[in-house]
Amino acid sequence: MKKHIPNLFTLMNLFSGMIAVIMAATDELVLAALFVFLGIFFDFFDGFFARKFNVAGELGKQLDSLADVVTSGVVPGIIMFQLMLYAGKGQWFMELSCEVGNWHEYQDTYYYFLPFSGLFITLAAAYRLANFNIDERQTSSFIGLPTPAFSIFVVSLPLILFYSDNSFFIALLQNFYVLLGITILGCYMMNAEIPLFSLKFKNYKWKGNETKYLFLLGTAIMLFSLQTVAIPLTILLYVLLSVIENRIKK
């Protein structure tokens, strides 16, 4: 039974992702975000138990990627689609519902197909996950932004719109071109040849784990001071610290 425990957590990740898909497709973006966070929680522990019980295998590896395609690929793609519709509502229409299916309201405008560009996130995530399975370099660190990290970035954006009172960030997220830029940059970062550190600890000493501890400290400070706005900023901090670490090593 022990060897099936990691796969059980992987399936719970997939189950959470499927619920998140339904929530995102019916414009319940906050609930979708919460189920994505839950799925990523399960995703962390499937790897943890696989290493702990020494039962990592090819089945678990493939199953993990299939689950991540849904939780960290399909869901953020739909959420970005919805956010682009929401941005369109503010700029081009007064009474446009951003539920899936109402995109046909755009058919008389230049922006008819543009919100579908949010689904490029799903394509980029699927490509990265497939490539990750055959890339033997990514054992103790990552090359390119992990799909769960960018998924956290995207699904946190509706939380800022609903719960933050920071007018600057809200205005940014109501701009279609900002969302398009996030989409393009995220698709690139997931598949870029940029080394990024992993949060896996071989030991808990300061030496050798400086970047990880600085990241955790910075994350805690931002979450305390900025609340929901801090979530996407922690992903930016993760990339920034990785780039600095790479420079120092070179």
Residue by residue, DSSP assigns 113-146 as SGGGGGGHHHHHHHHHHHHHHH-TT-SSEEES--
- Note the pLDDT of residue 139: 62
- Note the pLDDT of residue 134: 81
Asked whether the beta carbons of 193 and 135 are under 8 A apart, the reply is no
Q: Is residue 188 part of a domain?
A: yes
Q: Is residue 148 part of a domain?
A: yes
Checking phi first, is residue 210 left (phi over 0); if not, alpha (psi -120 to 50) or beta? Answer: alpha
Tokens coding 194: 């940029």
Mean pLDDT, rounded, for 102-130: 78
- Could you report how far apart the first and last alpha carbons of the chain are, in Å? 45
Confidence of residue 77 (pLDDT cuts 50, 70, 90): very high
State how far the Cα of 55 lies from the Cα of 24, in Å rounded to an integer: 34
Confidence of residue 95 (pLDDT cuts 50, 70, 90): very low
Number of domains in the chain: 1
State how far the Cα of 222 lies from the Cα of 122, in Å rounded to an integer: 28
Going along the chain, which residue ranges are E strands?
141-143, 195-197
Q: Is the pTM of this model over 0.95?
A: no
Q: Which of 58, 78, 61 is nearest to 17 (CA)?
A: 78
Q: For 92-96, 185-189, 192-196, which range has the lowest pLDDT when averaged over its residues?
A: 92-96
Asked whether the beta carbons of 108 and 169 are under 8 A apart, the reply is no
- Note the pLDDT of residue 128: 93
For residue 181, how far is the Cα from the chain centroid?
15
- Note the pLDDT of residue 221: 93
Reply yes or no on whether the pLDDT at 249 is more than 60.
yes
Confidence of residue 104 (pLDDT cuts 50, 70, 90): low
Q: Is residue 201 part of a domain?
A: no
pLDDT in tens, 146-191: 999 999 999 999 999 888 888 888 888 888 899 999 999 999 999 9
Mean pLDDT, rounded, for 20-29: 91
Provide the CATH number for the domain around residue 101.
Answer: 1.20.120.1760
Mean pLDDT, rounded, for 17-24: 95
Reply yes or no on whether the pLDDT at 16 is more than 90.
yes
- Note the pLDDT of residue 240: 93
Q: Is residue 73 part of a domain?
A: yes
Q: Is residue 118 part of a domain?
A: yes
- Note the pLDDT of residue 92: 40
Q: Is residue 107 part of a domain?
A: yes
Confidence of residue 90 (pLDDT cuts 50, 70, 90): low
Which residue type occupies 237? Answer: L
Q: Is residue 167 part of a domain?
A: yes
Q: Which domain holds residue 24?
A: 2-194
In sequence order, the β-bridge partners of residue 141 are 197
- Note the pLDDT of residue 109: 54
Classify 53 as helix, strand or coil: coil
CA angle 34, 146, 219 (to 5 degrees): 60
**pLDDT-above-70 percentage for the chain:** 85
Confidence of residue 62 (pLDDT cuts 50, 70, 90): confident
Reply yes or no on whether the pLDDT at 20 is more than 70.
yes
Mean pLDDT, rounded, for 21-39: 93
Which residue did the predictor score with more confidence, 60 or 216?
216
Which residue did the predictor score with more confidence, 20 or 61?
20
CA angle 82, 87, 93 (to 5 degrees): 105
Q: Is residue 240 part of a domain?
A: no
pLDDT in tens, 218-229: 999 998 888 889
